[in-house]
Amino acid sequence: MQNQDPGLLPEEEWEDDDLEEIPRLRKPKPETVMGIVALITAAVLLVLVVVCIPYFRQKPQEEDPEEILHARHQEEESILKDNPLDTEPTEETEPTIPPESNPYNQRDFQYGLNNFLLCTKQDSYSGIDVSQHQGEVDWQQVADSGVRFAIVRLGYRGWGKAGKMVEDRYARQNLTGAKEAGIAVGAYFFSQALNLEEVDQEIACMLDILGDTELDMPVILDWEIPETGTSDQPRTAGMDARTLTDCLLYFCRTMEAKGYDPMVYFNWSQSKKLIYLHELEDYPFWLALYQDRMTYPYRVEMWQYTCTGRVPGIQGDVDINVFMPDGRKQ
């Protein structure tokens, strides 16, 4: 016979009341379980966010190339403000045949109404070019300030490998608003085209956005190489002068055949190494040179002289231009 604790009753003598007194493990409440799960989930998500922050900060491949270029343009303007470019860039060049010489000198441009730069040698007009980066524009205020024309961005092609085309968020609104305010309107597309097929795609995009809108000013393919500042190179990094000139010439001829007035946009460096300007002389030239001294050696019909201009009706910086129409290219 086994020894038995004198304080315990044999099992056969246990009563129901005695069984109820035996402690049992309590099941956790559903609310408690859900709270623990929520805390674990929150902790995991927090870790994922911390780990992924560097990726969130990276610029997507289809980001607006003009947004990248704006910072570079601002830096360029701040340098040229105190040290205007008086001589041609010294980097190696490919194009060698120069276009028509510049008929203007530095004294031919003076600040006039509302501090807009105008040409005193011939009729000239002040204007701006705008995109979604200017946000909502009060076009009546812009018109009242003395702005005579606006070149509206219709869209852009992303600088990444895929080269996705995107409509400017304010394109249609800006076209309508400027025209209703009595401002002459032109249009541009920020291109990253690599060949004629992609130029055709960009033309189709422009025409779709324009619809029945009648333009008073030229249409432009704004082709530039954005410097990303990262290891990701823009799709246009390897462009050569022959291909780019062919693309611009094709754009101009195609748009002209469709009843539009094309114009060729470039900066000083591009005109020396990436564009055969003499092949495009049938069309007006639009120069980006961010200083108030006209030192460019060749004739241009429009001059974008600042990217940090201020105009009533626009919050923040805006490009300001002076247009000197050449009757021979009208």
Q: What whole-number distance in Å separates Cα of residue 111 and Cα of residue 124?
A: 12
Quick check: is 24 in a domain? no
Tokens read off for 23 = 């402690």
Residue 168: which domain range? 65-329
Task: Work out the average pLDDT over 139-164.
Answer: 96
* Cα 119 from Cα 114, distance rounded (Å): 15
> Where is 149: in which H helix or E strand?
strand 149-157
User: Residue 326 has what pLDDT?
Assistant: 84
Average pLDDT over residues 79-108: 70
| Residue 108 phi, psi dihedral angles, 5° rounding | -80, 0
Place of tokens 């795609």: 201
pLDDT at position 59: 43
In a domain, 19, yes or no: no
What are the φ and ψ backbone dihedral angles of 282, each rounded to 5 degrees? -70, -10
Is 325 or 81 the better-scoring residue by pLDDT? 325
With respect to residue 70, please indicate whether it lies within any of the assigned structural domains.
yes
Q: What is the CATH number of the domain that holds 113?
A: 3.20.20.80
Distance CA 69, CA 270 (A): 14
114-133 pLDDT, tens digit per residue, is 899 999 999 999 999 999 99
pLDDT tens per residue across span 163-188: 999 999 999 999 999 999 999 999 99
Q: Model confidence over 237-262: pLDDT tens digits?
A: 999 999 999 999 999 999 999 999 99
Q: Kindly list the distances between the CA atom of residue 123 and the CA atoms of 112, 163, 187, 271, 285, in Å, as whole numbers in the listed order.
A: 13, 40, 22, 25, 17
> Would 60 be classed as within a structural domain?
no
Tokens 């033309």, located at residue: 203
DSSP per-residue string spanning 118-137: EESSS--EEEEEE-GGG-S-
Distance in angstroms (rounded) separating the CA atoms of residues 184 and 180: 10
Is residue 12 in a domain?
Answer: no
- 309 domain-assigned: yes
What are the distances in angstroms from CA 10 to CA 13, 15, 17? 5, 11, 15
In the chain, what is the greatest distance between 2 CA atoms, to the nearest angstrom? 128
Query: What pLDDT was estimated at residue 224?
Result: 93
Domain presence at residue 11: no
Domain count of the fold of the chain: 1
pLDDT at 70: 59
Better pLDDT: 330 or 102: 102
Note the pLDDT tens digit of each residue in 281-328: 999 999 999 999 999 999 999 999 999 999 999 999 999 999 999 866
CA 124 – CA 119 distance, rounded (Å):
6
Question: Strand 219-223 to strand 262-267: parallel, antiparallel, or no bridges (unpaired)?
Answer: parallel
* Averaged pLDDT, 219-228: 89
More confident residue, 247 or 35: 247
**What rounded mean pLDDT belongs to the chain?**
84
Record the pTM: 0.76
Residue 95 in domain = yes
Q: CA dist 31 to 27, 34, 38, 140, Å? A: 12, 5, 10, 60
CA gap 312, 330 in Å, rounded: 30
